Structure 1
Amino acid sequence: MFKITKITSLIIVAIALFSSVEGYSQTKEKDKDKKAVVSKREAARRGLHKRDSLMRSLNRSDTSINSLLQRIEQYTTTFNQIKNNLAEGLDTADVSEQLPQVAKRLDKIAKITDSHKASTLRYLFVIRDNLDRIQDRLEESQSDLDDINTKLVQNQKDLIKFAKDTTLKTVPYDSLARRTFFTQLKTVKILWHRIDSVNRVALLKVNLLQDKASVSYTKALDEDDQIDAKISGFATKALSGETSYIWSPDRQYNDFSSAFNSTVRLNNLLLGYFIKSQPATHFIGIIFLVLVFIWIIYTRSKALKNHEDSEKLFNEANYICKRPVISSLLMVTVIVPYFYNHPPTVLLEGFFLLSMVLALILIRKEIPKDSFNFLIGLFALAFGYSISNLFIEISNVDRYLVFALSILSIALAFSLYKKYKKSPEQHLPNTGLALQVFIALQGLSLILNITGRFSLAKIAGVTAVFNLWLVVTLFLVIRIIIQGLYLQFQIKRSPNSIINWIDYNLVQKKFKKTLILIGSLLWLFFLLQNLNIDDWASDNLHDIFTQKQAVGDSSFTLGGFIVFIFVIWLSSIVSKVISYLFDISAQRVTDLSVLKRKNRTSALIIRIGVFSVGFLLAVAASGFPIDKLTIIISAFGVGIGFGLQNIVNNLVSGLIMAFEKPINIGDVIQVDGHMGTMREIGIRASKVVTGDGSEVIIPNGDFISHQVINWTLSNSNRQIDLRIITAYGVDIAKVKDLLKNLLINHDDIMTTPAPAVLVNNVSESAIEFKVLFWVADINKTGEIKSKILAEIYSTIDREQIPLPSTQKDIKLFLPDGTPVDNQFLNPGSEGTKSGSKKGFKENPPDPGQ
């Protein structure tokens, strides 16, 4: 039983083990199958990732090579552009050529200013002006070099950027792309090496030029400071006196040869530099000479050719007609020096002496002999002062020369002044005053020279002589311009030329005043130059004009205020010129068409428009804030409310008339009992010219508020109404036919509307006819009416048409037996006359008889 149980247990255990082993094997096989599935899945996934990575890698390689090739292409384009710019060359030729010359000029100026003490402010200012020009030139050169350097630095940055570009070190995967990439990269590198070397050389060259320009500029500033120091110390030295009294000369000023040599060197230096430094101004001066010469020669030849009275032309334009070349040269030599900014003294004096010679030639036979001899002596004095004014060092010889010139000047002027006192009418106006000022300045120069203040003495003497001569030359230039204007008006032109419309006398008067004003300003400028205070005056005026002044919350400058006034004045001048041109066109044109009259009326709109634009420009130019105009407008509104109603009313009425044009220039109007022709429509009032020649000024408001009759608003036609009275019993049809035929056949009477003859009234003793007809021009109404009345009278007399008689029959009733006086019955007897004188009383008939 035990064995059976044991065997059964073993069998059960075996079965269990077998089952477990089988289950384990099955589980293991399942696990193996599961792992196989997982490994396959993982392998597939990994293969997928690998292929994906490969594809992405391939894609990245393609994208990279395209980007690299594009970048190389960009570098190639940039380098080629740099190469082309460098191949054109640097714009430094002028700078390279000018810098050595500038350095030499600075060395010469430094040597002169260090070794000599200039005796005149004029030369100190001229040297400083030359230094200022050198500084301006160097500033321009530095600016040009900076621009070039900026471009070269940018080129270098682009070149360095290429050298540091790490993306170009990427190697493409594809062999074909790799070969293409390396080929283009090699080409770009070769180009880069060439351009980099050229750009570095150019950059080095520009840097060297910049260093030279900076050194020269610093040296010019140092020399300018040194000249400023001498100028600032000149006044103190001149007032205190450079030397002792004239009878005890200083030995340090005995070296005349040194002063002469240094003067020659400095003048040559300044003149040479000036001629080379301003070619544009020289060219403008030559063009001005050519234009003046052509204008004078052409005007003279045309006027002499077309004008009948050549003797009158020679009297009115004696300078141009007799000496046209001398007149042209004189005008140029007087005006051209003002084209330059602080030219050297030697150049100014050359122009000035030449203008004196030309003036003497021009007026040799035009002025009295005493005045001409004085000008000859004055020319000699001016020549001596010109030589003295060129010296840059004080010398005793120069001092004695100025002393002698002062004495001769006083003697010469005093001699002419005595002759002027005897016959002032033979000399130019204000000759006495000019001589008095001249003698006073020369006396001051003499005193200053004696007391050792030689520089001030020379300034006073030079100013007296040169400015007196300048008065003469400017006077002649103004005369030449006026004469040229006169000849311009004598040239024959077409009837429609605008010159024929302008009144020469009016233009001459206005233009002469303008020329005198300009000449006075030029003379004042030359006076300040001779006194060597032109820069001082300019600096002080600039400070005064630019200094801000505060009024409440607003600020302004005196210069802005002057600009405001000047622009307003200029706009008023322009508006007046426009008005004048419209007026003269109205006087020249005889066709009073409606369109032309309206165009003339538009002058008011143009004037107001010009003035308004001028006002806005003046406000803008003066720097006044535009927003502050509201304050002015508000104040203007208050003024209107208190007392400017009539003025504003007339102004607005003028604008209404200008825009609506109910009345035009040239219209025949009737307002407030005044009938006449509209001459001018102004801003505030208008002018009406009546038939008797009087000009009635009517406020513009009256044309709007009152009843106005405009006879020529639409056209210039006018109807004439005549009354013809004939005796009772005439043939009415015959009279009407005669009158109508007379009107129809008349050339001055319009056919449309046709003339008419009407019976107006029939009385016991007469028949009245009304004659109506139209004329085309209202200005010919009186003339045509007179002609028609005369022709009607001739027709009535020829056709023997009776007119009503004013004779009265008197019936006299006398008592029976009363004798009748034959003299009373005879109308021509003395008794009748006597009776008529006494007054004969007529007795009415007795109704009972």
Structure 2
Amino acid sequence: MPTIATPQVAVEAMQLNQRLRTLPDRVVADQTLAELQQQITSLEETTREIERKTEQAIQSGAIFTELQESELDWEALNKQVKSLSEILITHATALENEVQSLRIEESLWSATSEQIKTQESPAELSELTGKALADISAASTSAEERRSRIVALQQSVAKQGVIISTETERVKKAKAESQRSLLVPDRPPLWKVQFQPEQGISPLLRSSFVEDVARLKTFISAKATVLLGIAFLTLGVLGFFLRLRRAPQTETSESNLKKRTLMLQRPIALALLVFVLAMMLLFFDAPNVVLALVYLIGLVPVLRLLKPHLTKTTQRMLVALIVSVLIWHLIKLIHFPIWIKRDLIAVFNLVVVGSFGWWLRQAYRDNLNRQRGLTLTLVATAAAIVLLVLAFFANLSGYVGLSNLLTLGTLTSSYRAVSLYTVFAVGSLLISLIPTKTTQPLSSAGTDHDRLTRRLTFALGVTLFFVWLHTALKLFAVLEPLLAAIRTALNYQIEVGSASFKVSNIGSFIFVLIVGYLIASVTRALLGEVILPRLKLEYGLPNAIATITHYVVLVMVFFLAIAAAGVELSKFTILTGAIGVGLGFGLQNVVNNFVSGLILLFERPVRIGDFLEIGGATGQVSKIGVRSSTLHAIDGSDLIIPNATLISERVTNWTLSSTRRQIFLNIPVAYGNDPTEVRDLLRNTVSAHPDVLKVPNPKAFFLGFGDSALNFEVRFWAARPQVVLDLKSEVALSIAAALTKAGMKVPMPQRALHITRSDLDASAAASTKDEVEIETEA
């Protein structure tokens, strides 16, 4: 047994004393234990209260929506139990470590004490070892006592956890049973329900208020970190839009400019819209009081951002929808007696159906006057009215659970659809305002920006639609059965001969391909139109990088889809060999064009936006694809040219090194004019045209004497090939006007034929004319 050396006893005793004095700081304190005990006591009381209410609800045949609220209460308690368990485990582990350490110290000092007694050391050392052993014993007793208290608290928490787990399963079973029996009457018909004063309404209201406040506190406590992040996100978005409002306006269409101005005048509404959207992620376990508060906050962004863009009728429908949702959640929050609540819900359904039916009729007439007919908004409103009518008759006939489910699902899903549509409208406008820097000097830049806008808008719309669809299915309590049915269908085994595969493999393959293609397309658009053009790269390089990245992502997506389908990549080599055989026979041209396309992307002899002349066709390159490239000709047609043709044949690229193009114009002037004056007039006239480049300077040359005119040539430069024909025509007209104004004529080509007497035939000797001059027009 190791001992402490006699000279070190005093030092070790002092260090031991210091460690024991800091022991309370390293283990759980009495105050902490008291607070934990108080929390567990409160948990036990809350558990008993919710257990009592759950028992009453199940015994009285609670409807589906009430059981959902009860399930959320038990889930909140379960999270509280898990949190307390983790805290107690941490404290118990620390205490266990300290107890083991004290036992080791006690053994060490006991052996040292025996050694000192044997060696007949000074009495002071015996006193030190004795005091150290006494201190260790006291510390061990204290730690053991605290550990016992922690164990007792752990047992209490574990007991509550068992109760919570049991009640949660019980509520889930009751909810499943309620869902299966939605088409079974769970209450007497409304006309048979009579006044049943069980207790006053005021105590119920007070009880309802207390419960809702408690649920709100529990939710805030459980989601404190997430809520704090959402708050910072909202403030950050507010700062971003305030800064964007002060930023200079970019070039955009007049309609987008008006929308941008109108939108940026409401930065608070935009920030609150982001807040509502972020809070929707927490709706799956949020109590009704939280939903009501979020919907109340959502009034501001929806009304401020969406209302100005609607007609008067749809504005009324929007306001009525928001008010209806708030009233519905108010009815659900307040614990009225069931006979009062059913009457309120019936009246509420009638008012909502009547109001929206009237406005739907007006909106349909307005659309007919505008020759628009049915729209998605009108169809959705009509479907909502039908569901609310069904909810009214369900309540009237005693199907209260079905009535509440239909009303809740219809109103809440409609409100979320409006909120998500507001997000889509704002997001689409922001996407259209994305500043793009493109090195393309041609009209394809606008087309590419439009393509980027369409892709991002489509991706945003699809994402928001699936978010709404998920929440709507969950609100109508059909999400879980639908997912179960989908899982069953996906697990269906298909056997073809000796091969077998599941439907889920095919679905996974197709899903990964679709999502991967969307990601690759958006990535290509962002790289080619937003990110890379802002870097100092050579002309055409951003498109090359974006295109190659697009192909690489597609290849990765294909292999991911193969893996998702359950195909082992090691067995994929057989398919690769088959593809190799196919390449050797029937796909030679395809591979040739594909490799040529890669050469075009890497060497960039031809780039998107270049102006080419090939095989007698002239036009602008609008696309470089995997197999072929597209040339937009001057006459408006699109020529599909294989990539191999652009590599192997002669191609004139007018914009490879520069977009400038030199224009030649031949000008004949009649004899009798001063060539110097004509040259200066031509040069000055060309230089005066605003579209003619000043550098290099326009030049005029006197080429010599022609048969019937003085020949001049004008050379000047156009900024880009697309304007050559128009600029050549305008300059020629300007020169013609300048020559006419200066009195200089452009002669007609003439020839003079002289016939002499000696050349006449003998048959013309009788002619008295000595010379005949015949001027013929060439």
TM-score (norm 2): 0.73
Q: Does 1:196 align with 2:140?
A: yes
Paired position in structure 2 for 1:33: none
Shift of 1:231: 1.3
Identity %: 19
Higher alpha-carbon deviation: 714-723 or 683-692: 714-723
Cα distance in 1 for residues equivalent to 2:576 and 2:356: 59
Residues 664, 678 of structure 1: 8 Å contact kept: yes
Q: 1:656 to 1:480 in 2, by over 3 A?
A: closer
Residues 79, 192 of structure 1: 8 Å contact kept: no
**Code of the aligned partner of 1:567:** G
Secondary structure of the 1:200 match is: helix
* 1:594-673 paired onto structure 2 within 5 Å: 595-598=538-541, 600-615=543-558, 625-634=568-577, 636-637=579-580, 640=583, 643-665=586-608, 669-673=612-616
Paired residues, number: 738
Paired position in structure 2 for 1:527: 472
Secondary structure of the 1:687 match is: strand
Q: Does 1:682 align with 2:625?
A: yes
Q: 1:665 to 1:307 in 2, by over 3 A?
A: closer
Paired position in structure 1 for 2:392: 446
Paired position in structure 2 for 1:462: 408
Residues 3, 112 of structure 2: 8 Å contact kept: no
**Code of the aligned partner of 1:413:** F
- For 1:104, which of 32, 45, 48 is the aligned residue? 45
Q: 1:70 to 1:466 in 2, by over 3 A?
A: same
Cα distance in 1 for residues equivalent to 2:6 and 2:626: 78
Q: Does 1:124 align with 2:99?
A: no
**Deviations along 1:316-371, whole A, 9 cap, x unmatched?**
35853676545654564465333443211122123324535775577777655544
TM-score (norm 1): 0.68
Secondary structure of the 2:172 match is: helix
- For 1:579, which of 507, 528, 531 is the aligned residue? 528
Residues 289, 332 of structure 1: 8 Å contact kept: yes
**Deviations along 1:441-479, whole A, 9 cap, x unmatched?**
122113222321112112223333343444444444443
**Deviations along 1:746-770, whole A, 9 cap, x unmatched?**
997879xxx999999x99x899999
Paired position in structure 2 for 1:269: 214
Shift of 1:807: 0.9
**Deviations along 1:392-431, whole A, 9 cap, x unmatched?**
6871222222222333333333323433443325699334
**Code of the aligned partner of 2:289:** V
Q: 1:574 to 1:80 in 2, by over 3 A?
A: farther
* 1:677-716 paired onto structure 2 within 5 Å: 678-690=621-633, 694-708=637-651
**Deviations along 1:269-315, whole A, 9 cap, x unmatched?**
32232233222232233234334444444444557xx6999997895
Secondary structure of the 1:350 match is: helix
Secondary structure of the 1:566 match is: helix
**Deviations along 1:536-562, whole A, 9 cap, x unmatched?**
556666777799999948776578543
Secondary structure of the 2:639 match is: strand
RMSD after superposition: 6.0
Residues 659, 720 of structure 2: 8 Å contact kept: yes
Cα distance in 2 for residues equivalent to 1:620 and 1:408: 55
**Code of the aligned partner of 2:466:** L
Residues 122, 532 of structure 1: 8 Å contact kept: no
Shift of 1:221: 1.0
Cα distance in 2 for residues equivalent to 1:526 and 1:554: 32
Cα distance in 2 for residues equivalent to 1:458 and 1:410: 15
Paired position in structure 2 for 1:212: 156
* 1:216-235 paired onto structure 2 within 5 Å: 216-235=160-179
Shift of 1:222: 2.0
Paired position in structure 1 for 2:690: none
* 1:286-305 paired onto structure 2 within 5 Å: 286-300=231-245, 302=247
Cα distance in 2 for residues equivalent to 1:699 and 1:194: 91
Secondary structure of the 1:243 match is: coil
Secondary structure of the 2:285 match is: coil
Shift of 1:531: 2.0
Q: Does 1:247 align with 2:191?
A: yes
**Code of the aligned partner of 1:571:** A
Structure 1 unaligned spans of 5+: 1-62, 728-733, 837-849
Secondary structure of the 2:647 match is: helix
Shift of 1:121: 2.4
Cα distance in 1 for residues equivalent to 2:603 and 2:160: 70
Residues 300, 487 of structure 1: 8 Å contact kept: no
Paired position in structure 1 for 2:229: 284
Q: 1:371 to 1:781 in 2, by over 3 A?
A: closer
Shift of 1:216: 2.1
Cα distance in 2 for residues equivalent to 1:109 and 1:514: 44
Q: 1:503 to 1:558 in 2, by over 3 A?
A: closer
* 1:139-218 paired onto structure 2 within 5 Å: 139-161=82-104, 163=106, 189=133, 192-193=136-137, 195-218=139-162
* 1:50-61 paired onto structure 2 within 5 Å: none
Structure 2 unaligned spans of 5+: 688-692
Cα distance in 2 for residues equivalent to 1:583 and 1:324: 30
Residues 250, 435 of structure 2: 8 Å contact kept: no
Cα distance in 2 for residues equivalent to 1:603 and 1:690: 25
Cα distance in 2 for residues equivalent to 1:342 and 1:404: 29
Q: Does 1:479 align with 2:425?
A: yes
* 1:733-752 paired onto structure 2 within 5 Å: none
Paired position in structure 2 for 1:413: 356
Higher alpha-carbon deviation: 160-169 or 681-690: 160-169
Q: Does 1:566 align with 2:494?
A: no
Q: 1:96 to 1:637 in 2, by over 3 A?
A: farther
Higher alpha-carbon deviation: 655-664 or 571-580: 655-664
